[in-house]
Homo-oligomer: A and B are copies of this chain.
Amino acid sequence: MISGHVFIATSLDGFIAKPDGDIQWLISRDDPQEDHGYNDFIKNIDGIIMGRGTFEKALSFASWYYTLPVIVLSQKLTENDIPEHLKDKVQISKLTPQDLMAALETKGWKRVYVDGGQTIQSFLRENLIKDMVITTVPVLIGEGRRLFGAVTDDISVKHIKTTTFPSGLVQTEYQVVR
């Protein structure tokens, strides 16, 4: 059974980026000496699903960050929006979250990294997320792109573990209760 997994950082007030996508507030509080577990997390992942916002942010960095296949969920973008050097690494999908996960399952994918606020929110609403590792950055930024959004019913999660880091980051792992 294919499952979605979240690994994301948020400000203490629940934002993953400023309104314009800026994440300097996060980068400036990150300590590159600390191992926040991303490499361990990504080891067991088959590929990444993200929304347009996260994709465009990733494109703005000096080099492409992801080694795994990336699928960008977007009704607006087309294959023409993928830079030439990423054509073999990135594809666009217009499928619903349910249909995309079903399609990936037939391709043999088992664990998918779901990234970006809007995408995480829609996958949560469709009950496609199994667990979430949320790293809270010790700052209030007041406005921006939210990690979480509307839900149809309350979604209970089960606390698995919490790790604190000298930088002040607090990382909590939750399983979604189905």
Q: Hey, which bits of chain A sit against chain B, CB under 8 A? A: 12-14, 25, 124, 134, 136, 138-143, 147-152, 154-159, 161-162, 164, 168-170, 172, 174
Contact = CB atoms under 8 A, between A and B. Distances in A.
Chain B CB within 10 Å, residue with most, of A13, A140, A169: A140
B174 A159 contact: no
What 7 A-B pairs have minimum CB-CB distances, sorted nearest first? A142-B151, A13-B148, A159-B168, A140-B155, A14-B14, A138-B157, A142-B150
Contacts of A168: 157-159
B159 A162 contact: no
Contact of A148 (B12, B138, B154, B174): B12
A151 B157 contact: no
Contacts of A143: 150
Contacts of A136: 172
A169 B157 CA distance: 11
A178 to B, nearest CB: 13
A164 B164 contact: no
Contact of A140 (B138, B151, B158, B170): B151
Given A25-B154, A156-B139, A14 B148 contact: yes
A175 to B, nearest CB: 9
Contacts of A151: 140-142
